[in-house]
Amino acid sequence: MANRSGRVTATDVAREAGVSQTTVSYVLNDAPHQKISESTRRKVLDAVAKLGYQPSAAARALRLGRSELVLMLLPDVPVGDSLATLVELLGDELERHRLSLITRRTQHSPVSSLWREFMPAAVLTSLGVCAEDMAAMRAAGIPVVSVEIDAATHPLGLPIHQTLIGRMQVERLAATGHTHLGYAAPRQPRLRDFLEPRLAGVRAACAELGLAAPAVLDVPLDAAAAAAAADQWHSAVPAVTGVCAYNDETAFALLAGMRRVGLSAPGDLAVIGVDNDKLAPFAVPPLTTIDNNLDILAGRVARLVVSSIAGDTVSAAPQSVPVSLVVRESA
């Protein structure tokens, strides 16, 4: 029978099963080094099922000194489709290990107040977390898994090579005969940390292949502005014939702008994006792009999180996340 509050407690389970509350705790937490007979374990589990007992997450967090939450600290970047998809995939992966993912923006609250508020089982970081905050979390016994741009700066890290993305874009266009390239940059300062390494990869690949430096133009998510950029590239001497777009959204804008000025892809301007957005196959024409393979990224991050919580040894030189070329009609 439940207590006066109506909530079934571990005491009620112990009474129903005819065992001590300590035994209930050992069974429900699968405590190691405790010799609980199978018949006693079954009595406890049957009582749990009969009474509909749900362990208190708050009590468990108090007992363990941490919650079953994984805190993901989001940098100050726009939450586009890729980031939203990554959060969703990662949440699904962690739920398989009885962990819940929560996200917080680092620009809204100090990092120290966030992890102290939640006392998470682990923290996921990317941009904008200083060494002092990282050290404080480690000192508190909280594993920190770092998903970094182009480099793993923390022993528990996973690099995403943005420069490789830029290189792959150039290599695709060069392989299809394009020698004068443009780069469609977003007019969004908050994307600088992603833009700069991608553009660096484009410039490096152009230099290595003996191509002229890319003609960089801002292409905002505005058809008229994108049309002006497309016309400028097409009218240049020599004409730009292939464009690396910062991401698929930028590429979508460019393709729309091209139609406004009577240009088509790939005949007038070949266009290649980044992200393999779910709408990329439905662009006009279907968009060639670089796939970040977010499902693979989410799986690897989840395994790093689970391993770090368990105290398992993690390699100091983690495997980088693979990216792949998806060829469609635009390039």
Average pLDDT over residues 150-174: 75
CA 88 to chain centre: 9
* SS3 call for 148: strand
* pLDDT, greater one: 314 or 329: 329
* pLDDT, greater one: 285 or 302: 285
Taking the whole predicted model, whether its pTM rises above 0.85 is answered as no
Tell me which residue of 247, 286, 244 sits closest to 265, measured CA to CA. 286
CB 160 within 8 A of CB 320: yes
∠ CA 90-92-98, nearest 5°, is 105
**E strand or H helix at 101:** strand 100-105
User: What is the C-alpha separation between 200 and 205, in angstroms, rounded?
Assistant: 9
Q: How far is CA 257 from CA 227, 232, 267, 306, 330, in A?
A: 4, 12, 15, 46, 14
List pLDDT tens digits, range 26-72: 787 666 666 788 888 899 899 988 888 766 544 554 455 456 888 88
DSSP state, residue 132:
H
Residue 154 has pLDDT above 70, yes or no: no
pLDDT at 74: 80
